[in-house]
Amino acid sequence: MTRSVQVRLVGAAFIVCVATTALWFNRRSIPLFIATADRWRVIHSEKVIAEKMGMPPLVFWAWERPDDLRDLDARRAGVAFLAGTIFIRSIAPDGGGAPDEGVVLRPRLQPLLVPERMPLMAVVRIETHQGWSQSSYQTAKPTESAEGPYTEQQRRRVVSSIRRLTALPDVRAVQIDFDATRSEQGFYRALLTDLRKALPSGTPVSITALASWCVGDPWLAKLPPGTINEAVPMLFRMGPDGPNVASFLDGGNEFRVSACRGSIGLSTDESFSQEVLRNGRVGNSGLQGKRVYVFHPKIWNAEAVLKTIGAVYKWHGESSALH
């Protein structure tokens, strides 16, 4: 019988998170913590060699919920789980506070059950404080302005936090989930560049991408070659850009940024995602050949898993991702 892998955090971790969150609001120096029960318990298994990202063509996003995905076949599906969330607050240009303050890591608090040999991707969500004023930004030091309201020390601290989260056993890749605003793109570009240098050369770096970044915003294409292995266009929760992106893809167009062409992100609860899964049509290459990441707004259950598997593998020519 397949043994389970469980990632569980004890009450002590919760206490640590509460304490660090309180420090966030006190604008004091905030240490970073990764608290676990005993440790992050992931059963070590033989490395499964997979194409490009080291992940199968179907990946289930496991967010901050107690998901049970033990019935998946580790040979045909992977899991990208939320390993932690990093909160970044801008530093006032008046010099108040240390330049690396305003960075808090909240580790995963929910258990995750997956089968042995499951390809795992650690997802790190980045949230920023949007309360900084444009006037403050304009008066920031020249060395900081290119990166928006954040400092080089904060960037280094974020990179260090990501490294610690991605050092967990059996994690084959890291994915950064950051909806960077236009003023934050300089910081994000520098962060990704530093992260690529900090991680082992064999660790793939994936990022989630607003669909608009892949269609008309050129900033991703300006990243140094090799910085990221893929950018996953998020074809859900697109907001005002939704109709334009849908029309662009329905016209048979492929994403203009090459990093966006190998994968897509869908959600089980949105009609456009459901249509893509049903028709297998997105851009000129369709679903075949693309890695499909699927988000579920609730806890994954057998019905949602089976429905997703049937839709994706219909286009990838595989029979099942279940045992």
Residue 293 · residue 267 · CB < 8 Å? no
Q: What is the mean pLDDT of residues 171-197?
A: 95
Q: What is the mean pLDDT of residues 279-291?
A: 78
Q: Which of 134-143, 236-245, 253-262 has the lowest mean pLDDT?
A: 134-143
For residue 32, the number of C-alpha atoms closer than 13 Å in the C-beta half-sphere is 23
Q: Which two tokens stand for residue 245?
A: 């992106």
Q: What is the mean pLDDT of residues 55-77?
A: 92
Please check the confidence at residue 266 and state whether its pLDDT lies above 70: yes
Torsion angle in degrees (nearest 10) through CA of 323, 236, 155, 120: 0
Is pLDDT larger for residue 135 or for residue 146?
A: 146
Please check the confidence at residue 136 and state whether its pLDDT lies above 60: no
Q: What is the pLDDT of residue 74?
A: 87
Q: What is the pLDDT of residue 200?
A: 92
Distances (CA, A) of 194 to 185, 200, 228: 14, 12, 11
Q: Which two tokens stand for residue 146?
A: 């290119």
Contacts of 108 (CB under 8 A, 6+ apart): 7, 9, 64, 81, 82, 83, 84
Q: 18 pLDDT band (50/70/90 cuts)?
A: very low
Q: What is the mean pLDDT of residues 254-273?
A: 92
Name the class of domain 4-316: alpha beta
Find, among 291, 315, 260, the residue nearest to 57 by Cα. 291
Q: 148 pLDDT band (50/70/90 cuts)?
A: low
Q: What is the mean pLDDT of residues 158-168?
A: 90
Q: What is the pLDDT of residue 236?
A: 94
Token pair 């669909």: residue: 211
Q: Which of 113-127, 141-155, 259-273 has the lowest mean pLDDT?
A: 141-155
Spatial strand order in the sheet of 112-115: 4-6, 112-115, 67-68
Q: Where are the domains of the chain?
A: 4-316
Q: What is the pLDDT of residue 285?
A: 66
Q: Which of 58-67, 127-136, 171-180, 209-218 has the lowest mean pLDDT?
A: 127-136
pLDDT, tens digit (0-9, with 9 covering 90-100), for 29-40: 222 222 332 223
Cα separation of 223 and 200, whole Å? 19
